[in-house]
Amino acid sequence: MNRDRNRQWRLARRPEGFAKPTDFEWVESAIPRPGPNHALVQTRLLSLDPTNRSWMSERATYMPPLPLGDVMRGLGVGMVVESNIPTLATGTPVYGSFGWQDFAVVGSQDLIVPLPDDPAIPLTMHLGLFGHIGMTAYFGVIDVAKPRQGETFVVSAAAGAVGSLAGQIAKILGCRVLGITGTADKARWLVDELGFDAAVNYREESSLVDALERHCPNGIDMYFDNVGGTTLEAVLHLIKLRARLALCGMISTYNEAVAPGPRNLFEVIIKRARIEGFLVLDYWSRAAEAIEALARWHQEGRLKYRVHVIDGLEHAPAALNMLFEGTNQGKLIVRLS
Protein backbone atom coordinates (compact mmCIF):
# COMPACT_ATOMS: atom_id res chain seq x y z
CA MET A 1 0.00 0.00 0.00
CA ASN A 2 1.48 3.35 -1.02
CA ARG A 3 1.11 6.34 1.28
CA ASP A 4 1.85 10.02 0.75
CA ARG A 5 2.15 10.81 4.48
CA ASN A 6 4.12 9.29 7.33
CA ARG A 7 1.85 8.30 10.20
CA GLN A 8 3.52 7.96 13.60
CA TRP A 9 2.75 7.13 17.19
CA ARG A 10 4.90 9.23 19.52
CA LEU A 11 5.35 8.87 23.27
CA ALA A 12 3.38 11.70 24.91
CA ARG A 13 3.76 10.80 28.62
CA ARG A 14 5.11 8.09 30.93
CA PRO A 15 2.38 5.51 31.62
CA GLU A 16 1.20 4.67 35.11
CA GLY A 17 0.20 1.03 35.07
CA PHE A 18 -1.10 -0.18 31.71
CA ALA A 19 -0.36 2.10 28.77
CA LYS A 20 -3.37 4.23 27.79
CA PRO A 21 -4.25 5.86 24.44
CA THR A 22 -3.52 9.25 26.01
CA ASP A 23 0.08 8.18 26.63
CA PHE A 24 0.61 8.38 22.85
CA GLU A 25 0.25 11.12 20.25
CA TRP A 26 -0.78 10.44 16.65
CA VAL A 27 1.25 12.57 14.21
CA GLU A 28 1.13 12.76 10.41
CA SER A 29 3.94 14.46 8.50
CA ALA A 30 5.75 14.43 5.18
CA ILE A 31 7.63 11.27 4.27
CA PRO A 32 11.32 11.83 5.14
CA ARG A 33 14.11 11.57 2.56
CA PRO A 34 17.31 9.65 3.22
CA GLY A 35 20.65 11.45 3.20
CA PRO A 36 24.08 10.01 2.35
CA ASN A 37 24.64 6.49 3.72
CA HIS A 38 20.99 6.28 4.72
CA ALA A 39 17.94 4.48 3.38
CA LEU A 40 14.17 4.90 3.58
CA VAL A 41 12.26 1.85 4.79
CA GLN A 42 8.50 1.42 4.51
CA THR A 43 7.32 -0.62 7.49
CA ARG A 44 5.15 -3.61 6.60
CA LEU A 45 4.91 -5.39 9.96
CA LEU A 46 5.44 -4.11 13.50
CA SER A 47 6.38 -6.41 16.37
CA LEU A 48 4.63 -5.82 19.70
CA ASP A 49 6.65 -7.12 22.65
CA PRO A 50 6.51 -6.70 26.44
CA THR A 51 9.76 -4.76 26.27
CA ASN A 52 7.85 -1.97 24.47
CA ARG A 53 6.28 -1.14 27.82
CA SER A 54 9.62 -1.04 29.64
CA TRP A 55 11.01 1.39 27.06
CA MET A 56 8.22 3.82 27.93
CA SER A 57 9.33 4.22 31.56
CA GLU A 58 11.85 6.78 32.74
CA ARG A 59 14.13 4.04 34.03
CA ALA A 60 16.94 2.89 31.75
CA THR A 61 16.91 -0.79 30.84
CA TYR A 62 19.34 -2.31 28.36
CA MET A 63 18.48 0.74 26.26
CA PRO A 64 18.05 4.36 27.33
CA PRO A 65 14.52 5.53 28.17
CA LEU A 66 12.59 6.70 25.13
CA PRO A 67 12.47 10.53 25.28
CA LEU A 68 9.02 12.08 25.41
CA GLY A 69 7.96 13.25 21.95
CA ASP A 70 9.99 10.60 20.13
CA VAL A 71 8.49 8.00 17.80
CA MET A 72 7.57 4.92 19.81
CA ARG A 73 10.41 2.41 19.59
CA GLY A 74 9.68 -0.93 17.97
CA LEU A 75 11.12 -3.73 15.85
CA GLY A 76 9.64 -4.49 12.48
CA VAL A 77 9.95 -5.82 8.97
CA GLY A 78 9.86 -3.46 6.02
CA MET A 79 10.92 -2.80 2.44
CA VAL A 80 13.69 -0.50 1.30
CA VAL A 81 12.00 2.07 -0.96
CA GLU A 82 14.96 4.44 -1.43
CA SER A 83 18.61 3.80 -0.66
CA ASN A 84 21.85 5.73 -0.49
CA ILE A 85 23.61 2.77 1.14
CA PRO A 86 25.70 0.95 -1.51
CA THR A 87 25.18 -2.46 0.11
CA LEU A 88 21.41 -2.11 0.49
CA ALA A 89 19.40 -2.16 -2.72
CA THR A 90 15.95 -0.69 -3.21
CA GLY A 91 13.33 -3.44 -2.98
CA THR A 92 15.19 -5.41 -0.30
CA PRO A 93 13.05 -6.71 2.59
CA VAL A 94 14.72 -5.84 5.90
CA TYR A 95 14.39 -6.40 9.64
CA GLY A 96 15.29 -3.70 12.16
CA SER A 97 14.14 -1.07 14.64
CA PHE A 98 11.88 1.16 12.56
CA GLY A 99 9.51 2.40 15.25
CA TRP A 100 5.74 2.79 15.24
CA GLN A 101 5.51 4.58 11.89
CA ASP A 102 4.96 3.97 8.20
CA PHE A 103 8.40 5.14 7.07
CA ALA A 104 11.78 5.23 8.81
CA VAL A 105 15.16 6.58 7.78
CA VAL A 106 17.95 4.21 8.81
CA GLY A 107 21.71 4.63 8.62
CA SER A 108 24.41 2.23 7.53
CA GLN A 109 25.52 2.01 11.18
CA ASP A 110 22.08 0.82 12.37
CA LEU A 111 21.16 -2.82 12.88
CA ILE A 112 19.51 -3.56 9.53
CA VAL A 113 19.19 -7.23 8.58
CA PRO A 114 18.45 -7.96 4.90
CA LEU A 115 15.95 -10.80 4.59
CA PRO A 116 15.65 -13.51 1.93
CA ASP A 117 13.05 -12.56 -0.67
CA ASP A 118 11.47 -16.00 -0.55
CA PRO A 119 7.68 -16.33 -1.06
CA ALA A 120 7.80 -19.62 0.86
CA ILE A 121 8.79 -17.72 4.02
CA PRO A 122 6.03 -15.35 5.22
CA LEU A 123 7.30 -11.99 6.43
CA THR A 124 5.61 -12.68 9.77
CA MET A 125 8.03 -15.57 10.30
CA HIS A 126 10.91 -13.09 10.52
CA LEU A 127 9.28 -11.53 13.59
CA GLY A 128 8.52 -14.92 15.11
CA LEU A 129 10.33 -18.16 14.52
CA PHE A 130 13.27 -16.70 12.55
CA GLY A 131 13.47 -13.34 14.38
CA HIS A 132 14.24 -12.13 17.89
CA ILE A 133 11.51 -14.39 19.29
CA GLY A 134 12.93 -17.66 17.98
CA MET A 135 16.49 -16.63 18.81
CA THR A 136 15.50 -15.69 22.37
CA ALA A 137 13.90 -19.09 22.94
CA TYR A 138 16.78 -20.98 21.30
CA PHE A 139 19.68 -19.37 23.13
CA GLY A 140 17.80 -19.09 26.42
CA VAL A 141 17.32 -22.86 26.41
CA ILE A 142 20.54 -24.01 24.75
CA ASP A 143 23.08 -21.60 26.25
CA VAL A 144 21.53 -20.47 29.52
CA ALA A 145 19.34 -23.31 30.82
CA LYS A 146 21.66 -25.98 29.37
CA PRO A 147 19.16 -28.87 29.37
CA ARG A 148 20.08 -32.49 29.95
CA GLN A 149 17.99 -35.48 28.90
CA GLY A 150 15.35 -36.46 31.42
CA GLU A 151 15.43 -33.24 33.42
CA THR A 152 12.33 -31.21 34.35
CA PHE A 153 11.95 -27.91 32.51
CA VAL A 154 9.34 -25.33 33.56
CA VAL A 155 8.47 -22.23 31.52
CA SER A 156 6.18 -19.32 32.44
CA ALA A 157 4.02 -17.41 29.94
CA ALA A 158 4.25 -20.77 28.21
CA ALA A 159 1.64 -20.02 25.55
CA GLY A 160 3.36 -16.79 24.58
CA ALA A 161 5.59 -16.31 21.56
CA VAL A 162 8.88 -17.05 23.36
CA GLY A 163 7.59 -19.44 26.01
CA SER A 164 5.85 -21.77 23.56
CA LEU A 165 9.03 -22.15 21.52
CA ALA A 166 11.27 -22.54 24.57
CA GLY A 167 9.14 -25.38 25.91
CA GLN A 168 9.12 -27.18 22.57
CA ILE A 169 12.90 -26.85 22.23
CA ALA A 170 13.39 -28.31 25.70
CA LYS A 171 11.06 -31.17 24.74
CA ILE A 172 13.02 -31.82 21.54
CA LEU A 173 16.16 -32.07 23.68
CA GLY A 174 14.63 -34.78 25.85
CA CYS A 175 13.29 -32.87 28.85
CA ARG A 176 10.02 -33.27 30.70
CA VAL A 177 8.25 -29.94 30.12
CA LEU A 178 5.66 -28.13 32.23
CA GLY A 179 4.11 -24.85 31.06
CA ILE A 180 2.53 -22.17 33.25
CA THR A 181 -0.24 -20.24 31.48
CA GLY A 182 -3.38 -18.24 32.20
CA THR A 183 -6.35 -19.98 30.51
CA ALA A 184 -7.69 -23.50 30.14
CA ASP A 185 -7.64 -23.19 26.33
CA LYS A 186 -3.96 -22.26 26.34
CA ALA A 187 -3.17 -25.11 28.71
CA ARG A 188 -4.88 -27.58 26.35
CA TRP A 189 -3.01 -26.11 23.36
CA LEU A 190 0.33 -26.58 25.11
CA VAL A 191 -0.35 -30.24 25.85
CA ASP A 192 -2.48 -31.35 22.90
CA GLU A 193 -0.82 -29.37 20.09
CA LEU A 194 2.72 -28.56 21.25
CA GLY A 195 3.44 -31.78 23.13
CA PHE A 196 4.14 -30.36 26.59
CA ASP A 197 3.94 -33.05 29.27
CA ALA A 198 1.71 -30.89 31.46
CA ALA A 199 0.37 -27.36 31.82
CA VAL A 200 -0.87 -25.35 34.79
CA ASN A 201 -3.52 -22.63 34.50
CA TYR A 202 -2.41 -20.45 37.40
CA ARG A 203 -5.75 -18.59 37.47
CA GLU A 204 -7.54 -21.81 38.42
CA GLU A 205 -5.10 -22.76 41.17
CA SER A 206 -5.49 -21.69 44.79
CA SER A 207 -1.74 -22.21 45.20
CA LEU A 208 0.74 -22.20 42.33
CA VAL A 209 3.32 -23.84 44.61
CA ASP A 210 0.96 -26.76 45.23
CA ALA A 211 0.19 -27.08 41.52
CA LEU A 212 3.87 -27.14 40.62
CA GLU A 213 4.57 -29.69 43.33
CA ARG A 214 1.76 -31.87 41.97
CA HIS A 215 3.30 -31.91 38.50
CA CYS A 216 6.96 -31.79 39.56
CA PRO A 217 7.12 -34.13 42.59
CA ASN A 218 10.89 -34.51 42.20
CA GLY A 219 11.55 -30.78 41.84
CA ILE A 220 12.53 -28.43 39.01
CA ASP A 221 15.89 -28.60 37.22
CA MET A 222 15.41 -25.63 34.87
CA TYR A 223 13.12 -22.64 34.79
CA PHE A 224 12.70 -20.31 31.81
CA ASP A 225 11.16 -17.16 33.25
CA ASN A 226 9.11 -14.64 31.29
CA VAL A 227 7.03 -13.40 34.23
CA GLY A 228 9.02 -12.80 37.44
CA GLY A 229 7.21 -11.72 40.62
CA THR A 230 5.11 -14.26 42.49
CA THR A 231 5.48 -16.84 39.70
CA LEU A 232 9.26 -16.83 40.08
CA GLU A 233 8.77 -17.00 43.86
CA ALA A 234 6.61 -20.12 43.53
CA VAL A 235 9.16 -21.86 41.32
CA LEU A 236 12.02 -21.08 43.72
CA HIS A 237 10.29 -23.18 46.38
CA LEU A 238 10.78 -26.27 44.20
CA ILE A 239 14.16 -25.84 42.52
CA LYS A 240 16.56 -28.76 42.80
CA LEU A 241 20.22 -28.78 43.70
CA ARG A 242 22.23 -26.98 40.97
CA ALA A 243 19.07 -25.78 39.21
CA ARG A 244 19.47 -23.32 36.33
CA LEU A 245 17.11 -20.36 35.92
CA ALA A 246 17.12 -18.41 32.67
CA LEU A 247 15.57 -14.97 33.17
CA CYS A 248 14.16 -13.77 29.85
CA GLY A 249 11.55 -11.25 31.00
CA MET A 250 9.46 -10.14 33.97
CA ILE A 251 6.16 -9.18 32.42
CA SER A 252 4.38 -9.10 35.79
CA THR A 253 6.50 -6.13 36.86
CA TYR A 254 6.44 -3.84 33.81
CA ASN A 255 3.22 -2.09 34.78
CA GLU A 256 4.00 -1.96 38.52
CA ALA A 257 5.72 0.83 40.42
CA VAL A 258 7.08 -1.70 42.93
CA ALA A 259 8.13 -5.19 41.80
CA PRO A 260 6.19 -7.96 43.67
CA GLY A 261 9.07 -10.14 44.92
CA PRO A 262 10.37 -12.79 44.91
CA ARG A 263 10.91 -12.89 48.67
CA ASN A 264 12.64 -16.29 48.84
CA LEU A 265 15.93 -15.82 47.01
CA PHE A 266 17.58 -17.65 49.92
CA GLU A 267 16.49 -20.83 48.09
CA VAL A 268 19.13 -20.03 45.47
CA ILE A 269 21.83 -20.25 48.13
CA ILE A 270 20.46 -23.40 49.72
CA LYS A 271 20.20 -25.18 46.37
CA ARG A 272 23.41 -23.67 44.94
CA ALA A 273 21.32 -22.69 41.93
CA ARG A 274 22.36 -20.40 39.10
CA ILE A 275 20.21 -17.49 37.94
CA GLU A 276 21.26 -15.86 34.68
CA GLY A 277 19.58 -13.05 32.82
CA PHE A 278 20.17 -12.74 29.09
CA LEU A 279 19.35 -10.59 26.08
CA VAL A 280 19.02 -11.83 22.54
CA LEU A 281 21.28 -8.97 21.43
CA ASP A 282 24.17 -10.84 23.05
CA TYR A 283 23.72 -13.68 20.56
CA TRP A 284 23.12 -11.75 17.35
CA SER A 285 26.43 -12.90 15.83
CA ARG A 286 25.15 -16.49 16.11
CA ALA A 287 21.80 -15.88 14.41
CA ALA A 288 22.56 -18.34 11.57
CA GLU A 289 23.08 -21.16 14.07
CA ALA A 290 19.68 -20.58 15.68
CA ILE A 291 17.79 -20.13 12.40
CA GLU A 292 19.28 -23.33 10.96
CA ALA A 293 18.16 -25.39 13.95
CA LEU A 294 14.74 -23.72 14.23
CA ALA A 295 14.08 -24.19 10.50
CA ARG A 296 15.06 -27.85 10.63
CA TRP A 297 12.83 -28.60 13.63
CA HIS A 298 9.95 -26.70 12.03
CA GLN A 299 10.32 -28.60 8.73
CA GLU A 300 10.36 -31.86 10.67
CA GLY A 301 7.07 -30.91 12.31
CA ARG A 302 8.63 -30.84 15.79
CA LEU A 303 8.39 -27.08 16.32
CA LYS A 304 5.12 -25.19 15.88
CA TYR A 305 4.32 -21.51 16.25
CA ARG A 306 1.43 -19.17 15.61
CA VAL A 307 0.99 -15.46 15.05
CA HIS A 308 -1.75 -13.02 16.02
CA VAL A 309 -2.01 -10.22 13.47
CA ILE A 310 -3.78 -6.90 14.13
CA ASP A 311 -4.47 -4.81 11.02
CA GLY A 312 -3.74 -1.09 11.17
CA LEU A 313 -1.08 1.07 12.82
CA GLU A 314 -3.87 3.01 14.53
CA HIS A 315 -4.57 -0.04 16.73
CA ALA A 316 -1.00 -0.47 18.06
CA PRO A 317 -1.47 1.27 21.46
CA ALA A 318 -4.56 -0.76 22.37
CA ALA A 319 -3.02 -3.97 21.05
CA LEU A 320 0.06 -3.58 23.25
CA ASN A 321 -1.97 -4.31 26.38
CA MET A 322 -3.06 -7.66 24.96
CA LEU A 323 0.39 -8.93 25.95
CA PHE A 324 -0.27 -8.11 29.62
CA GLU A 325 -3.89 -9.24 29.60
CA GLY A 326 -2.94 -12.54 27.98
CA THR A 327 -5.55 -12.18 25.22
CA ASN A 328 -3.21 -12.61 22.23
CA GLN A 329 -2.93 -16.02 20.59
CA GLY A 330 0.70 -16.28 19.51
CA LYS A 331 3.28 -13.72 18.40
CA LEU A 332 1.57 -10.32 18.35
CA ILE A 333 2.11 -8.34 15.15
CA VAL A 334 0.57 -5.17 13.70
CA ARG A 335 0.25 -5.21 9.91
CA LEU A 336 0.67 -1.77 8.35
CA SER A 337 0.61 -2.68 4.67
Summarised one tens digit per residue, pLDDT across range 46-59 is 999 999 999 999 98
Do residue 64 and residue 205 come from a single domain?
no
Q: Please state the rounded mean pLDDT for residues 129-135.
A: 95
Residue of 24, 7, 101 lying closest to 317 (CA atoms)? 24
**Bigger pLDDT: 329 or 331?**
331
Exposure pattern of 40-54 as b/e (b: 16+ CB <10 Å)?
bbbbbbbbbbbbbbb
- Please, what is the Cα angle at 136 between 284 and 127, to 5 degrees? 85
pLDDT tens figures, 216-237:
999 999 999 999 999 999 999 9
CATH code (residue 181): 3.40.50.720
Do residue 167 and residue 268 come from a single domain?
yes
User: How many other C-beta atoms are found inside a 10 Å radius of the C-beta of residue 89?
Assistant: 11
What domain range includes position 56?
Answer: 6-127+306-335
- Please, what is the Cα angle at 222 between 218 and 225, to 5 degrees? 125
Q: Would residue 297 count as lying in a domain?
A: no
Specify the pLDDT at position 2.
54
Tell me the β-bridge partners of 154.
178, 223
**Domain tally for the chain?**
2
Do residue 195 and residue 255 come from a single domain?
yes
Do residue 220 and residue 263 come from a single domain?
yes
- Please state, for a pLDDT cut of 70, what percent of the chain lies above it: 98
pLDDT tens figures, 149-183:
999 999 999 999 999 999 999 999 999 999 999 99
Do residue 273 and residue 150 come from a single domain?
yes
Average pLDDT of the chain? 95
- Which of the residue ranges 40-49, 60-69, 80-89, 300-309 would you say has the lowest mean pLDDT? 60-69
Q: How confident is residue 61, by pLDDT bands cut at 50, 70 and 90?
A: confident
Residue type, 125: M
Q: How confident is residue 30, by pLDDT bands cut at 50, 70 and 90?
A: very high
List all residues 6 or more positions away from 308 whose beta carbon is below 8 Å from its beta carbon: 322, 328, 329, 330, 331, 332, 333
Q: Would residue 86 count as lying in a domain?
A: yes
Do residue 91 and residue 170 come from a single domain?
no
Q: Would residue 122 count as lying in a domain?
A: yes
Interatomic CA distance for residues 328 and 156, integer angstroms:
15
Query: How far from 55 is each of 19, 50, 65, 72, 204, CA to CA, in Å?
Result: 12, 9, 6, 9, 32
CATH code (residue 71): 3.90.180.10
- Please state, for a pLDDT cut of 90, what percent of the chain lies above it: 89
Whole-structure pTM value: 0.93
Do residue 109 and residue 137 come from a single domain?
no
Find out whether 222 and 151 touch, Cβ atoms under 8 Å: yes
Do residue 154 and residue 235 come from a single domain?
yes
pLDDT tens figures, 259-313:
778 999 999 999 999 999 999 999 999 999 999 999 999 999 999 999 999 999 9
Specify the pLDDT at position 1.
46
User: How many other C-beta atoms are found inside a 10 Å radius of the C-beta of residue 61?
Assistant: 12
